[in-house]
Amino acid sequence: MNLSGQKAAAPDPYFPANGDPRYRVHRYELALEYRPGPNRLSGTARLSAIAGRAPLAEFALNLAEFKVGRVLVDGRVPHYAHRGGKLRIRPAKPLPAGAAFTVEVHWAGNPKPVRSPWGGLGWEELADGALVASQPVGAPSWYPCNDRPADKASYHISVNTPSAYTVVAGGRLLTRTTRASTTTWVYEQPAPTSSYLVGLSIGLYQTVLLGDPGLGGVAQTAHVPAHLLPRFSRDFARQPAMMRLFEELFGPYPFGEYAVVVADEELDVPVEAQGLSLFGANHVDGARGSERLIAHELAHQWFGNSVTIADWRHIWLNEGLAKYAEWLWSERSGGRPAHDLATAAHRLLSVQPQDLRLADPGRKLMFDDRLYQRGGLTVHAIRCALGDSAFFRMLRDWAGVHRHGVVTTAVFTAHVTRYATEPVDELLTAWLHTPELPPLPAPPVAPARPPHPPHPASA
């Protein structure tokens, strides 16, 4: 059937096939059943959504090649077509502009990663279990969604699986109910969440606590294969101190809890999700060899997850601020000062191709290591220009003013300008919009310490 419909107003320039800006979702309710052996997933999704400024004659969800059993819009059967990773839906009657509506989708099949320029993304079957690593466009590999980072919603996720397995999702565990040989785990994430940041892991884990939330801190849990616990205990021992430092520098932790999962397999890189980070067994060596990555993923809870980019052109705001958080942790925990790390990064970038425009790198370069390094350097250049006192106020206010919101590079540069005593337009243009690497900035004038030191790092 032909479902041509309305023209989308603003598709993502890097991923125009993902997401539909004609409406927004404010809540997902996912009820899933997963069997690890045959890698079989079935589910029901109920989406509560609101039409945009124009009447909605049709709309689209992203969903991989599952078998779709039933679709309902406001309880009625619409016309729909499911091809090429898109579920196009035409309600029996057009939805009025601004109208609230619900969509229900039933689907089943064998989940697998979706193809991308960076390999498979999304649902990954492990030797014994599964995990989700969706950035940037892998979410449709396991559930129907409006897959654009700016469309943030709350989530209620129920997963039924054999009782030997632990299910971990971002958010608060509401209930865990065992009947016969299966257990249903129910999680609630009330904070607005982008589809790519909905994390899920199913595996054979032991659960341990990090820190002491009874002392007023953030509840931190870890889910780790038993044989990796001795090494994990050393590698993640300083995460509670990291959390205290980042709350001091960036403001209160933006979610209700924080969980980490260590999969019993190697992962190329750790994976950030909302309220959750996933690491591979190769990131646990008993010698704190991946501590900078622990800091990086934790920092994403503020930068990327709570404060979310409007589209993927602005990815440097996620990765540059998380990279700089690595340097701040090093500086405050007895490691190398941020300026020394910036000097090393600048030396590295100076001998590499000068073809990266940080504020709009293009899809091909959006995960290039140079973007991370130059992003961190840009944040450091801003610190050097503002001075420590204004810089740390700027950073904390950025996370606070835009908590659970959506931002762009232009919003960030306007924010920075408000904290500068001298013009910074040329500096920001050079670092963000010019491919050539600017000179290394001079060190911050003030001592390299934030204005309010946190509790000392634990051993």
Q: Where are the domains of the chain?
A: 1-201, 205-301, 308-433
Q: In what order do the strands lie in the sheet with 79-83?
A: 59-62, 86-90, 79-83
In order along its 459 residues, the chain shows pLDDT tens digits of: 333 333 345 789 999 999 999 999 999 999 999 999 999 999 999 999 999 999 999 999 999 999 999 999 999 999 999 999 999 999 999 999 999 999 999 999 999 999 999 999 999 999 999 999 999 999 999 999 999 999 999 999 999 999 999 999 999 999 999 999 999 999 999 999 999 999 999 999 999 999 777 667 899 999 999 999 999 999 999 999 999 999 999 999 999 999 999 999 999 999 999 999 999 999 999 999 999 999 999 999 999 999 999 999 999 999 999 999 999 999 999 999 999 999 999 999 999 999 999 999 999 999 999 999 999 999 999 999 999 999 999 999 999 999 999 999 999 999 999 999 999 999 999 999 999 999 999 887 654 444 444 433 332
Tokens coding 67 = 């078998």
Does the reported pTM lie above 0.95?
A: no
Residue 79 labelled as part of a binding site:
no
**Which residues in 282-295 are b (16+ Cβ under 10 Å) and which e?**
ebbeeeeebbbbbb
Query: According to the model, what pLDDT value does residue 445 have?
Result: 63
* Among candidate residues 235, 384, 353, 372, the one with its CA nearest the CA of residue 304: 372
- Rounded CA separation 225/215 (Å): 27
- Rounded CA separation 196/132 (Å): 9
Percent helix, strand and coil across the chain, each to the nearest 5? 30, 30, 40
Cβ atoms of 415 and 397 within 8 Å: the answer is: yes
For residue 5, list its beta bridge partners: none
Query: According to the model, what pLDDT value does residue 56 have?
Result: 97
Query: According to the model, what pLDDT value does residue 444 have?
Result: 75
Dihedral, 224, 225, 228, 234 alpha carbons, nearest 10: 10
CATH code given to domain 1-201: 2.60.40.1730
**Length of the chain in terms of residues written:** 459
Phi-psi region of 165 (alpha: psi -120 to 50; beta: other; left: phi over 0): beta
Residue 296 labelled as part of a binding site:
yes
Q: Tell me which H or E stretch contains 384.
A: helix 369-386
One of 3.40.605.10, 1.10.390.10, 3.40.109.10, 3.40.50.620 is the CATH number of 308-433, namely: 1.10.390.10
> Would you state the CATH architecture of domain 205-301?
2-Layer Sandwich (3.30)
Query: According to the model, what pLDDT value does residue 432 have?
Result: 98
Query: According to the model, what pLDDT value does residue 217 have?
Result: 85
Query: According to the model, what pLDDT value does residue 387 have?
Result: 96
Dump strand ranges (E) for 252-306. 257-262, 271-273, 276-279
Cβ atoms of 449 and 351 within 8 Å: the answer is: no
Amino acid at 43: G
**Backbone φ, ψ for residue 85 (5° rounding):** 80, 10
